[in-house]
Structure formats: C-alpha cells, structure tokens
C-alpha cells in the first residue's frame, strides 16, 4: 500500500468568486465590442478570481525544472542516450537550453532541481542537488519508487513551491527533463484514464513508428505487472512515475495551497497535473494550461482536466518551454483588463444599434 504524505491533502487556497463576477462585468465596460478579446477575457477574469483583485498583475514568474533519470530507459524507449539528462542539467546551468533563453525573455526566475541523474554532477550554479537515487527503478520490473523515495520527491516539489512563494511569484511554471519520461508519463495517463496505451503513445523526443510500438509493449507490461497495486493515484505515481514527475505533483499541490497559479506545460507536466488533481481535487482551480503538445496522449489528459489552452504550435520539447512561451499572452490578458479605458472614462458610445 502507498501512503501519501498528509500535507498533500490539505485544503487549497480559496478563490474569490465575487471578484470573478465583478471582473466579468468589468470586461463589458472596456472600450471594445463585448467578447472581442476572446480567450484573453476569460484568462483575465480567472486571474482576478485567483488574485482577488479587479486589475490583475502578472510580473513575477518562477520557473523550476525538475530533472531525473528513469530506470525504464534500460528498455530502449528513448531516441536519446540516458547521459543526456545530466548533460542537459549542465546546459540549464549555463543558460543554453530553450527554457533558459525563454526565462530571460520573460524575466522569470529560474532554477533546476536534480532529483537523481545517473551521472554524478559537480556543484552547478542554479542547480539544487536533491538526488534521491541515481534513477528510478525500471517500472517494467518493479515499482519505480519506494515509499520513502516518493515522499522525498513530493517534498522536493513542496520546497520549490515554498521558494516561489518567498519570491512573491504570481505564476509558477514547472518544467522537467528526464530521458524516457514520456514512457513514464504515458503509463501514468493510461493507468489514471483507463485508456488503451496505444491511443496515448507517441514519438516522445523522436522515436520512429516501431519505437512507439516498442514503448506501448513496455508500458503494457508495466501495467500488467502493477495491476493489483494501482488502487489510488499515489500508488500509480509510485509504481509508474519518475522522481521529477512526483516533484511536479508536489509543487502543483503546494502552489495551490499557497495560492500561486500554476501554468502547466506539455505532456509530462500534464500527467503530473492529472495526478495532483486526483490526489487533491482542489488543485484544479489553480491550474492554467498553456499549449497542446504534439504528443497524442496530451489531448486525452487535457480533456480529463477540462483544460483550455492558448497555444497550438506543435511544440514537444518539455523543460517548461511551452508554458514559458505562453506567459506573454497571460500578461496581455491581465494588462488589458488592468489598463484599458472604460466607455465612461473615454466617452465612447457603447450603445449597440442592434441593426
């Protein structure tokens, strides 16, 4: 049996529904045809409700990338060698990865948490060493994590949310890096959604069609192996997850408890969001969704979460990159509601002729 730490079930921060209604009414007073800002209106109203203010602000964004290796990489499910996880942690530290470039563009704080890379890394700027083990166990052979490892990984996410809170973050983005983690995330999705693995599986970072079929076979074997154990979301996470995915789950839950909106990235982070919401359903209120990834299982998870996204650019990189790219759109939404004139202020006629 899998135990979830007690803190994961604590109530999430309340949302201001009165402010939501006030913001909806206010949108119709701004100098534009009603509804003409489309989804940006919905987003601004959501930030009003989350922040409890009519004129929402979105300046301070905190990005944490969680990195870890996966035992299931032994099954040959990724297009890249396992060494890439640690190599990319160095690349994050030096600022050369996509997420680093985007973090600079949007002025976000950026850190990496290493939860367990096979290669031992020297101390690196912007990288926190929280190594739990060199990698998870191979989920085809045994549970990916022990109970204690799961607890540690969730706690690493909790701590990242606490740091974001201390930075005064108005938005949290969790990214991930871990060779073979689309296999883990697909297994999580299949277990939670009870959907056939083949419907949820895609090329990840770039395996070909036979590689996808191999991944499906590996995941089906894992689901069969753990069938009896997969009784609740924490058990699913322990048996099939990764350290970085569990840390994302912990971070998302803690952000919701702390009242920090979370912008969910792509396939892997959506799997973490799904688990977080199954562990603590209140978390959903604090989640926003950024983009549709190219990975086919993403849509199914988004549907289960009733997720509305703002971007569909065919991105499939991870690292939190799709979420970072979407931040300026959320800022546009907030700043429009905060700074546009009303019809009354601007002496613009708002009487439709209804012809």
Return the active site residues.
319
Contact between 94 and its own copies (CB under 8 A)?
yes
Per CB under 8 A, which of residues 241..300 are in contact with its own copies? 294
Contact between 135 and its own copies (CB under 8 A)?
no
Whether 334 contacts 60, CB under 8 Å: no
Contact between 7 and its own copies (CB under 8 A)?
no
Of the candidate residues 12, 19, 23, 37, the single one contacting its own copies (CB under 8 A):
37
> Judged by CB, which is closer to its own copies: 84, or 235?
84
Whether 208 contacts 78, CB under 8 Å: no
User: Smallest distance, Å, CB 259 to its own copies?
Assistant: 25
Whether 185 contacts 70, CB under 8 Å: no
Per CB under 8 A, which of residues 312..351 are in contact with its own copies? 312-317, 321, 324-325, 328-329, 331-332, 335-336, 339-341, 345-349, 351
Contact between 67 and its own copies (CB under 8 A)?
no
d(CA 199, CA 300): 9
d(CA 143, CA 166): 35
Contact between 59 and its own copies (CB under 8 A)?
no
| Segment near its own copies (CB under 8 A); pick from 125-133, 141-149, 224-232, 310-318 | 310-318
Q: Which two tokens stand for residue 172?
A: 């949290």
3 state SS of 256: helix
Contact between 88 and its own copies (CB under 8 A)?
yes
Contact between 118 and its own copies (CB under 8 A)?
no
User: Smallest distance, Å, CB 231 to its own copies?
Assistant: 32
d(CA 319, CA 36): 33
Of the candidate residues 61, 67, 102, 246, the single one contacting its own copies (CB under 8 A):
102
Contact between 107 and its own copies (CB under 8 A)?
no
111 half-sphere exposure, CB direction, 13 A CA radius: 19
Closest residue by Cα to residue 252 from 267, 242, 265, 241: 265
Of the candidate residues 21, 208, 213, 281, the single one contacting its own copies (CB under 8 A):
208
- By CB atoms closer than 10 A (0-12, 13-18, 19+), residue 195 is middle
Maximum Cα interatomic distance, the chain, rounded to a whole number of Å = 71
> Judged by CB, which is closer to its own copies: 122, or 194?
122
User: Smallest distance, Å, CB 186 to its own copies?
Assistant: 16
| Segment near its own copies (CB under 8 A); pick from 86-94, 167-175, 193-201, 241-249 | 86-94
Contact between 311 and its own copies (CB under 8 A)?
yes
54-78 burial: b if 16+ Cβ within 10 Å, else e: eebebeebbbbbbbbbbbbbebebb
Of the candidate residues 34, 107, 125, 134, the single one contacting its own copies (CB under 8 A):
34
d(CA 205, CA 316): 7
d(CA 136, CA 117): 9
Contact between 84 and its own copies (CB under 8 A)?
yes
Q: How many beta carbons lie within 10 A of that of residue 239, not counting itself?
A: 25
Phi, psi values for residue 256, rounded to 5°: -60, -35
User: Smallest distance, Å, CB 228 to its own copies?
Assistant: 30
Closest residue by Cα to residue 279 from 114, 157, 130: 157
Of the candidate residues 91, 114, 149, 151, the single one contacting its own copies (CB under 8 A):
91
The count of residues in the chain is 355
Residues 212-241, one symbol each (x = binds its own copies by CB under 8 A, - = not), give: --x---------------------------
d(CA 130, CA 113): 6
> Judged by CB, which is closer to its own copies: 197, or 315?
315
Interface with its own copies (CB under 8 A)? 30-40, 76-81, 83-84, 87-88, 90-91, 94, 96-98, 101-102, 104-105, 205-208, 211, 214, 294, 310-317, 321, 324-325, 328-329, 331-332, 335-336, 339-341, 345-349, 351-355
């Amino acid at each position: 049996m899998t135990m979830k730490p007690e803190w994961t079930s604590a109530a999430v921060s309340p949302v201001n529904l009165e402010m939501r209604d006030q913001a909806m009414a206010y949108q119709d007073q701004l100098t534009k045809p009603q509804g003409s800002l489309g989804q940006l209106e919905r987003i601004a109203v959501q930030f009003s409700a989350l922040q409890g203010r009519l004129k929402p602000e979105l300046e301070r964004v905190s990005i944490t990338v969680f990195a870890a290796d996966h035992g299931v990489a032994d099954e040959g499910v990724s297009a890249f060698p396992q060494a890439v996880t640690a190599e990319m942690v160095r690349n994050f530290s030096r600022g050369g990865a996509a997420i680093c470039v985007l973090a600079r563009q949007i002025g976000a704080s950026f850190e990496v948490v290493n939860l367990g890379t096979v290669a031992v890394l020297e101390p690196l700027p912007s990288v926190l060493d929280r190594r739990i083990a060199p990698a998870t166990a191979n989920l085809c052979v045994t549970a990916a994590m022990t109970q204690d490892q799961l607890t540690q990984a969730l706690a690493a996410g909790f701590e990242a949310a606490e740091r974001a809170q201390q930075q005064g973050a108005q938005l949290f983005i969790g990214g991930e890096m871990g060779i073979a983690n689309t296999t883990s995330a697909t297994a999580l999705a299949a277990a939670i959604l009870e959907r056939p693995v083949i419907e949820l599986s895609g090329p990840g970072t770039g395996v070909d069609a036979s590689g996808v079929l191999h991944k499906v076979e590996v995941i089906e074997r894992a689901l069969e192996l753990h069938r009896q154990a997969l009784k609740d979301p924490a058990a699913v996470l322990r048996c099939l997850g990764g350290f970085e995915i569990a840390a994302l789950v912990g971070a998302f839950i803690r952000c919701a408890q702390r009242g920090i909106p979370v912008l969910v990235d792509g396939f892997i982070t959506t799997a973490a969001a799904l688990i977080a919401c199954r562990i603590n359903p209140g978390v959903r209120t604090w989640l926003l969704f950024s983009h549709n990834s190219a990975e086919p299982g993403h849509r199914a998870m988004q549907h289960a979460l009733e997720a509305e996204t703002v971007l569909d650019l065919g991105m499939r990189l991870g690292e939190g990159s799709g979420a970072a790219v979407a931040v300026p759109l959320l800022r546009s939404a907030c700043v429009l509601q905060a700074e546009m004139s009303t019809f009354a202020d601007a002496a613009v006629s708002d009487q439709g002729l209804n012809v």
